[in-house]
């Protein structure tokens, strides 16, 4: 390819050529055994190209990802396990536990239904990153995807679309986050060629047309730099690199210019061949030599040596004015930095630098620190432990339709139900997790597929507060319990009122307070709730009313309270109140249309059984009726901006 993104693998890449890699020379016998077993289970009619695919993918793992023998064994044996022709016990006995764990990890990733990757790609990326505790599983999957995208045309058109779409949405961002820039650029190139072939071919043709001029320009640009480096005893390799076609197209769109006006179509890379001592200082010396020849643009200086990227990327970038007033990007780095820039953190184990430290901003920074300071023998175990620790507070759950939800570790089925919708949570009776029925308190695991089971007769109960972990869901359950208590209170009030009327008494507050005392309730609301929940016997009301001085219950109605007196009585001693703050999402309330309260108005909250909490002005036309008829449903309300002593 003109842009240098696509590598061509030699035809008939054989097992023996694979075993020439340094990482595999000590494992030749066991790898030959694994390869032989694989061939014995390949169907010549259906899998004629399978062996070559495995070898080509293994080469990607070795050359691009620095993986070793266990990863190659995983590729060779995975298909046998898929067919059920090789037991886990046999793999562990003959090939070791690491190969078995890698195969299981790959199977977990392959079982993920990624057909809905566009609905929330970040959640799918998170699941791919966290489903296995061994980072090599993800790297093997990346290698397999790179093979697929290189051979995209060999698949059916539907499969091509799925591979290209998944690669763009999921695997390219993962490669970028892991610092695997060469793999990222190659994937971008293949995806663009498939998705937008016309634009791709247009830019490719323009690159071809300008190649001769570009080659001559880079030769003239490099010549004085090369001589200056030799004069100062620097052993360097100088390369020119054409920007990838997707990168050029992004610049054209971002800068809103045609191809001819993209000023930095290519970059010059200066690679210092030396050991790692004083590498940063030497890179800056080379920078000084380059900028003595060509004028730099100070706004385009990027110092990734003093402040490496979280992936471990280190390089010094500057843009200078070359001959003819053309801008040229110059990248300066050591051989060590160049390999890490090409292969990401997978190359770090080769260069265990000393004295490097940095804040672990994410998983990749943590892995980078481990790679720089761990011995090779304990490296893989350390990576897995650190990766698991950094993601211990996050899991990803599938719905039956394939959508992916992000939760916290330790969340239950009930938490998940409330995350879908409050009504789903309030009616949840359990769930089917991975085709198995489980109770509300079942703790979900990363990658579970969960179908919530509901019932119209189900209602929240106080025990649910011990099941859910999310503060938001706790608030939702408390709200639902309070709403249920008000429903019970309304029903209880009707029960008492009907029974009292049946006995020939006039229902009044005096009578209600007498029943409060007789039944040992804290207040009228508690009395109504007890009867509404069926915890008190209506037949005992008669006995309560036949206590001393029953005539007082039939006396003329007491003098009606004034509205201010009613408000004062209701508000006095109230512990519950509502803060009106738009930022509070766990409490559901709405402003009453009958009075349209605004900040600064004196207000109160009224709990409506069917419509939740409504906020009214105290001067609302309906306020008198609401407060006098339903005092137990009234809460104090305050604007957030009010001072504590605001009346």
pLDDT digits (tens, 9 = 90+) for 584-616: 555 667 888 888 888 888 888 887 766 778 888
CA atoms within 13 A on the CB side of 173: 14
* Mean pLDDT (whole number) for 66-87: 84
pLDDT recorded at residue 343: 67
The whole-angstrom separation of Cα 287 and Cα 307 is 16
For 608, other C-beta atoms within 10 Å of its C-beta total 15
Token code pair at residue 374? 């761990």
pLDDT tens-place string over residues 337-349: 888 777 665 454 3
pLDDT at 291: 93
Q: Which CATH superfamily is domain 205-350 in?
A: Beta Polymerase, domain 2 (3.30.460.10)
Between 288 and 136, residue with greater pLDDT: 288
Cα 581 to Cα 243: distance, rounded to the nearest angstrom: 51
Residue 230 has a pLDDT of: 93
Average pLDDT over every residue of 410-429 = 89
CB-based contact 130:122 (threshold 8 Å): no
Of 129, 142, 131, 147, the residue nearest 52 (C-alpha)? 147
Contact predicate 174/128, CB 8 Å: yes
CATH class of 15-194: mainly alpha
Residue 302 phi/psi, 5-degree rounding, is -125, 110
> What is the model's pLDDT at position 550?
41
CB contact set of 109 (below 8 Å; sequence gap of 6+): 128, 131, 132, 137, 138, 141
Query: pLDDT tens-digit profile of 40-69?
Result: 877 766 566 888 888 899 988 888 887 888
pLDDT of the residue at 641: 63
Please say if the pLDDT value at position 203 is more than 60: yes
More reliable by pLDDT, 102 or 340: 102
Whole-angstrom Cα Rg for the chain: 36
Neighbour count for residue 56 (Cβ, 10 Å): 20
The domain segmentation of the chain, as residue ranges, is: 15-194, 205-350, 395-469, 471-545, 559-647
Sort residue 241 into left (φ over 0), alpha (ψ -120 to 50) or beta.
beta
Please name which of 252, 254, 268, 286 lies closest in space to residue 329, comparing C-alpha atoms: 268
- Find the helix or strand (DSSP H, E) in which 242 lies: strand 236-242
Architecture of domain 395-469: Roll (3.10)
pLDDT of residue 167: 93
DSSP per-residue letters across 303-340: ETTTS--TT----EEEEEE-GGG-EEEEEEEEHHHHHH
Of 211-220, 356-365, 456-465, the range with the lowest mean pLDDT is 356-365
pLDDT at 549: 45
DSSP H or E stretch at residue 407:
strand 404-407
pLDDT at position 267, please? 85
Task: Give pLDDT tens digits for 231-243.
Answer: 999 999 998 878 8
Query: Taking 70 as the threshold, does the pLDDT of residue 270 lie above it?
Result: yes
User: pTM score, two decimals?
Assistant: 0.60
C-alpha to C-alpha distance for 479 and 90, rounded to whole angstroms: 56
Higher pLDDT, 70 or 119: 70
- 3-state helix/strand/coil string of 585-645: CCCCEEECCCCCCCCCCCEEEEEECCCEEEEEECCCCCHHHHHHHCHHHEEEEEECCCCCC
| Predicted confidence band of residue 390 (pLDDT cuts 50, 70, 90) | very low
* CB neighbours of residue 469 within 10 Å: 16
């Amino acid at each position: 390819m003109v842009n240098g993104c696509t590598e061509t693998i030699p035809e008939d890449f054989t097992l023996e050529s694979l075993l020439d890699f340094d990482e595999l020379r000590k494992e030749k016998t066991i790898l030959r055994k694994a390869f032989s077993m694989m061939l014995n289970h390949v169907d010549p009619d259906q899998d004629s190209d399978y062996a070559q695919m495995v070898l080509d993918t293994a080469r990607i793992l070795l050359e691009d990802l620095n993986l070793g023998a266990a990863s190659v064994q995983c590729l060779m044996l995975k298909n046998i396990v898929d067919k059920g022709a090789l037991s886990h016990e046999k793999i562990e006995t003959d090939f070791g536990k690491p190969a078995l764990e890698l195969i299981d990890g790959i199977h977990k990733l392959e079982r993920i239904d990624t057909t809905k990757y566009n609905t929330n790609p970040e959640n799918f990326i998170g699941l791919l990153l966290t489903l296995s505790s061994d980072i090599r599983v993800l790297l093997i999957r990346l290698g397999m995807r790179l093979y697929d995208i290189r051979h995209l045309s060999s698949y059916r058109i539907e499969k091509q679309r799925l591979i290209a779409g998944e690669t763009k949405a999921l695997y390219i961002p993962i490669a970028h986050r892991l610092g695997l820039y060469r793999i990222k650029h190659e994937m971008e190139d293949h995806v663009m060629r498939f998705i937008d072939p016309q634009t791709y071919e247009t830019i490719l043709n323009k690159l071809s047309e300008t190649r001769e001029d570009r080659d001559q320009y880079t030769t003239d640009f490099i010549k004085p730099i090369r001589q200056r480096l030799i004069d100062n005893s620097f052993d360097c390799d100088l390369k020119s690199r054409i920007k990838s076609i997707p990168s050029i197209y992004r610049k054209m769109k971002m800068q809103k210019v045609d191809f001819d006006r993209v000023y930095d179509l290519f970059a010059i890379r200066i690679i210092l061949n030396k050991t790692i001592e004083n590498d940063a200082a030497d890179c800056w010396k080379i920078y000084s030599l380059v900028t003595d020849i060509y004028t730099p643009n100070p706004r385009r200086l990027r110092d990734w040596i003093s402040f490496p990227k979280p992936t471990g990327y280190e390089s010094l970038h500057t843009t200078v004015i070359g001959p003819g007033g053309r801008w040229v990007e110059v990248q300066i780095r050591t051989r060590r930095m160049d390999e890490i820039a090409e292969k990401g953190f997978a190359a770090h184990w080769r260069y265990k630098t000393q004295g490097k430290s940095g804040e672990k901003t994410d998983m990749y920074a943590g892995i980078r620190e481990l790679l720089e300071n761990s011995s090779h023998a304990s490296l893989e175990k350390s990576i897995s432990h650190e990766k698991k620790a950094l993601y211990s507070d996050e899991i990803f759950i599938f719905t039956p339709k394939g959508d992916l939800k992000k939760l916290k570790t330790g969340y239950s089925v009930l938490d998940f139900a409330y995350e879908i919708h409050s009504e789903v949570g309030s009616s949840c009776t359990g769930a089917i997790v991975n085709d198995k029925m489980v109770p509300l308190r079942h703790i979900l695991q990363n990658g579970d597929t969960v179908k919530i089971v509901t019932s119209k007769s189900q209602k929240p109960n106080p025990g649910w507060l011990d099941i859910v972990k999310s503060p938001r869901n706790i608030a939702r359950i408390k709200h639902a319990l309070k709403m249920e208590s008000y429903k019970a209170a309304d029903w209880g009030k009707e029960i008492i009122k009907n029974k009292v009327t049946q006995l020939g008494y006039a229902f009044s507050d005096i009578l209600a307070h007498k029943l409060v005392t007789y039944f040992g309730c804290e207040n009228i609301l508690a009395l109504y709730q007890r009867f509404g929940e069926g915890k008190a016997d209506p037949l005992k009301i008669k006995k309560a009313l036949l206590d001393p001085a029953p005539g007082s219950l039939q006396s003329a109605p007491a003098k009606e309270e004034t509205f201010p007196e009613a408000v004062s009585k209701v508000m006095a001693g109230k512990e519950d109140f509502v803060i009106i703050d738009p930022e509070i999402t766990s409490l559901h309330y709405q402003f009453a249309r009958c009075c349209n309260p605004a900040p600064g108005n004196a207000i109160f909250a009224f709990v409506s059984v069917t419509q939740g909490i409504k906020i009214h002005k105290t001067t609302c036309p309906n306020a008198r009726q609401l407060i006098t008829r339903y005092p137990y449903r009234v809460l104090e309300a305050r604007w957030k901006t009010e001072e504590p002593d605001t009346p």
